[in-house]
């Protein structure tokens, strides 16, 4: 354990090559390293905290015990810490009900790198990301082109959104860049095909539930209660 602690402390002054070497060593001892890395998340040195978070992300599902602390430091003062924590939560991708609202708040972070990491982390939760579809739709108007493109791709990969947000999504077709318009169009077409409803029908205020149009040979996920 002392060697692991020493490795973590050495991150404070390591260059990029040395950091990669340290992370490889920690991953080789991942079961022993995780408790020490979680402890390191509470240190005052932002470099150590950020690199400890990054190392936990590399451990993927084995780092699930770190989620609570990682979520707390997603709002840390230092953007490097926020970036690493947000990315790590996405790489672990467990407990969407707790994680997605925290990641959603990072979509409006002042730092563009944090926003980019937030979209990527949200996308790692797959279909569960519909829980934050509203803020993702807002992110389609982000000042950063990469954030807009990442968000458009994420929404398309989710494949469906709450019916109440269909009109808001359709409105994003106006004034969006070509990549975003293309993915919004594809998503709306996918939803219309799955539901057998036209866009005006989807936008209608009445009716909260619809069923998918039956498609022979292709099992479709149920949207019951989401539209």
Q: Is residue 196 part of a domain?
A: no
Q: Is residue 133 part of a domain?
A: no
Structure confidence at residue 34 (pLDDT): 96
**Cα–Cα dist 40/42, whole Å:** 5
Q: Is residue 56 part of a domain?
A: yes
Q: Which residue stretches of 41-177 are H helix?
A: 46-58, 67-73, 79-92, 96-105, 112-123, 133-139, 145-158, 166-171
Residue ranges making up the domain that contains 41? 1-85
Domains identified in the chain, total number = 1
Q: Is residue 129 part of a domain?
A: no
Both tokens of 70, joined, read 């990682």
Structure confidence at residue 205 (pLDDT): 55
Q: Is residue 201 part of a domain?
A: no
- Name the DSSP letter for residue 213: P
CB 38 within 8 A of CB 66: yes
In sequence order, which residues have a C-beta less than 8 Å from that of residue 119 and are 6 or more positions away?
107, 136, 139, 147, 150, 151, 154
Q: Is residue 93 part of a domain?
A: no
3-state SS string over 126-149? HHHHHHHHHHHHHHCCCCCHHHHH
Please state, as a whole number, how many other Cβ atoms lie within 10 Å of the Cβ of residue 217.
4
**Mean pLDDT split into 10-residue runs, the chain, 227 residues:** 90 93 92 95 96 96 97 97 98 96 98 98 94 94 96 92 88 88 93 88 62 38 36
Q: Is residue 188 part of a domain?
A: no
Structure confidence at residue 195 (pLDDT): 87
Q: What is the pTM of this model?
A: 0.85
Q: Is residue 78 part of a domain?
A: yes
Both tokens of 178, joined, read 């070509």
């Amino acid at each position: 354990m002392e060697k692991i602690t020493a490795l973590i402390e050495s991150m404070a002054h390591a260059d990029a090559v040395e950091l990669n070497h340290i992370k490889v060593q920690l991953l080789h001892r991942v079961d022993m390293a995780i408790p020490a890395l979680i402890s390191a998340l509470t240190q005052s040195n932002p470099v150590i905290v950020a690199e400890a978070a990054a190392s936990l992300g590399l451990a993927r599902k084995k780092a699930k015990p770190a989620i609570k602390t990682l979520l707390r430091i997603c709002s840390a003062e230092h953007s490097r810490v926020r970036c690493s924590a947000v990315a790590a939560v996405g790489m672990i991708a467990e407990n969407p009900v707790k994680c997605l609202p925290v990641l959603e708040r990072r979509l409006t972070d002042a730092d563009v790198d944090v926003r980019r990491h937030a979209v990527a982390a949200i996308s790692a939760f797959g279909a569960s990301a519909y829980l934050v579809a509203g803020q993702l739709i807002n992110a389609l108007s982000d000042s950063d082109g990469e954030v807009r493109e990442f968000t458009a791709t994420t929404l398309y990969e989710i494949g469906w959104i709450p019916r109440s947000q269909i009109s808001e999504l359709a409105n994003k077709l106006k004034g969006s860049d070509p990549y975003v318009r293309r993915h919004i169009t594809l998503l709306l077409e996918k939803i219309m095909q799955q539901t057998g409803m036209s866009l005006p029908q989807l936008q209608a205020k009445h009716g909260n539930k619809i069923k998918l149009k039956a498609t022979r040979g292709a099992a479709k996920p149920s949207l019951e209660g989401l539209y």
